[in-house]
Structure 1
Amino acid sequence: MNDGLENLQNYFKQLRLTETATELPNILRKAEQSTWTYREFIKEIVEFELTKREEKSIEKRMRWAKFPYMKTLELFDLSDQTSLNERQLNQLKELNWLEQQYNLILLGPPGVGKTHLAIGLGIEAIQKGFNVMFVTMGELINLLKTREFTRKSQVQLNRIESSDLVIIDDLMYMAMDSREANLFFHLINHLYERSSIILTSNKSPDQWGELLGDEGITTAILDRILHRVEVVQMNDDSYRMKHRQGMF
């Protein structure tokens, strides 16, 4: 019996059904105890394998997303927001904007939850089958500048360019030189109408030109980002400041 079971498990492994091979003794035990039909037995095996593959796929896409931390939308405290209500948050959570390739711009001062909201939406997107990448603006500029001669940068940018959703955190927190602005434009141009972008920034789009320098590039970037966009203004007081623990 054991030899027969081991042979079956090896067959499953050869078919690259490793998870099912490992779980097979338990599945067989349940089938005997519940007197499953052949159809019920096959259905259990197929559903188990599909579930495990989806779990692995989500785990893989979570790793690739490179979130700085894991905070879901369920942990987002709306009681600290006056500019975003539960209905609006649920609308964002439905991800219709992502399916229609709209962009999101989350504006507000540091500490109001922009990054948390962006990550929460990114996690939600991964769980619904989308590919997501998270990158800070500083990291992105470095990747773009080193792409030509660094394999790691090439891999990261290839993933960004092939993602359904790209989250760029702290957009326009620093001024760019003309080369950096040009590289950033080419990325935005590539993503245009291929992917959705979430941008977090403490500067409104009408201030971006001051940091990009080149008026032509600024206009071209804004045209592509603002063509299909939803802007979420988060101008509450800093959540971190309101809830920080005192040292004394």
Structure 2
Amino acid sequence: MDAKNSFISDIKTYAKIMKLGVIKSDIEQSIEDANTNNLSYEEFLYGLLQKECDIRKYNLTQSRIRTASFPYKKYLEDLSIEDLPADAQLKLKHLSGLKFIKDGQNVILSGNCGTGKTHIAIALGIKACLEGYKVLFTTVPLFITQLKELKSTKSLRGYQNKLSKYDLVILDEFGYISSDKEGAELLFTNISLRAGQKSTIITTNLSFDRWGEIFGDPVMTAAMTDRLTHKSYVVNMNGNSYRMKETKAWLDTLEN
């Protein structure tokens, strides 16, 4: 093995030890490009490190999106803003800046079915992942079931500590299924732990005066409503079905 190949072999070994995967796989091509373009040592090193950093940042972002457990990917750019309810059009621009996460504020998307509540919630969640925030997505029925299981195995405290580390928790489908007393109390307790500290987005088809249908307890309902809405963004999502418009547009493309 000549000196050049020996150096390259050693570089790959060091890159592997230091977990610099891009440098390990691209070093030969990078050297060839540097020679072809007559790059300085500084430019060569800069290019290597930039490529390594970009890939690592991309992988971390994709990891955050995967661990958030979104049911599917939706982006803010995919939204047809003019088809959203008027209040959503008004507030979405501000929400998309994600300052509400930095400030630990909640967002409640409340309105009838099909108006874009879940799409907006997922889109804000994915943007948060892209900007380095730790996000969790779940439905309220699934969340309650999980909390009950953790309580029964005496591992709820550990999960609560884990939950407190999420910058944003998205609870979808609040109000679609009623809960028993134990489930309501667990939901109330675990949402309350985040109140005023970390952000929660809730999508619901129920107006606040009907939240008692979920909790079955007027005192708990009043307390939950107060804690969730305090310094929160409440978005009125009542309007024509956004989902129906999307379906119609898709059907139109099939006919043309």
TM-score (norm 2): 0.87
Q: 2:98 aligns to what?
A: 95
Contact 1:93 1:121 in 2 (8 A): yes
Aligned residues with identical type, % of pairs:
34
Q: 2:172 aligns with which of 169, 173, 179?
A: 169
Q: Is 2:85–2:236's contact at 8 Å kept on the other side of the alignment?
A: no
Q: Which runs of 4+ in 1 moved over 6 A?
A: 150-157
Residue 3 of structure 1: CA displacement?
3.3
How big is the shift at 1:23? 1.8
Letter in 1 for 2:9: E
Distance 1:101 1:79, change over 3 A: same
Q: Deviations over 1:13-71 (max 9, x none)?
A: 10111222112222222222222222222222222222111111111101111111111
**Contact 1:72-1:120 within 8 A present in 2 as well:** yes
Paired position in structure 2 for 1:209 = 212
Q: Does the residue aligned with 1:169 lie in a helix, a strand or coil?
A: strand
Query: What is aligned with 1:10?
Result: 13
Q: Which moved more, 1:108-117 or 1:27-36?
A: 27-36
The 10-residue stretch of structure 1 (41-50 or 165-174) with the greater mean CA deviation from structure 2: 41-50
| Cα pair distance change 1:73/1:152, threshold 3 Å | farther
Please list every run of 5 or more consecutive structure 2 residues that lacks an aligned counterpart in the other structure. Answer: 252-256
**Pick from 135, 138, 150: which aligns with 2:138?**
135
Q: Does 1:77 align with 2:80?
A: yes
Question: Which of residues 28, 35, 38 in structure 1 aligns to 2:31?
Answer: 28
Aligned match of 2:46:
43
Residue of structure 1 equivalent to 2:183: 180
Secondary structure in 1 aligned to 2:120?
A: helix
Query: What is the aligned partner in structure 2 of residue 53 from structure 1?
Result: 56
Q: Which runs of 5+ in 1 are unaligned?
A: none
Change (3 A) 1:204 1:41: same
Q: CA contact under 8 A between 1:133 and 1:159: conserved in structure 2?
A: no
- Choose from 172, 195, 198 the match for 1:195: 198
- Aligned residue for 2:170, secondary structure, equals strand
TM-score by length of 1: 0.90
Please provide the CA RMSD for this pair: 2.4
In 2, are the aligned partners of 1:171 and 1:200 still within 8 Å (CA)? yes
C-alpha displacement at 1:92, in angstroms? 1.5
Q: Quote the Cα distance in structure 2 between the aligned partners of 1:44 and 1:129.
A: 23
Q: CA deviation at 1:106?
A: 0.6
Q: Indicate if the aligned counterparts of 1:144 and 1:157 stay in contact, CA closer than 8 A.
A: no
Question: Equivalent residue for 1:230?
Answer: 233
CA distance 1:39–1:65, shift in 2 (3 Å) = same
- Tell me how far 1:155 sits from its aligned partner: 8.5
> For 1:130 and 1:179, how far apart are their aligned partners in 2?
31
Q: How many residues align?
A: 246
Contact 2:91 2:235 in 1 (8 A): no
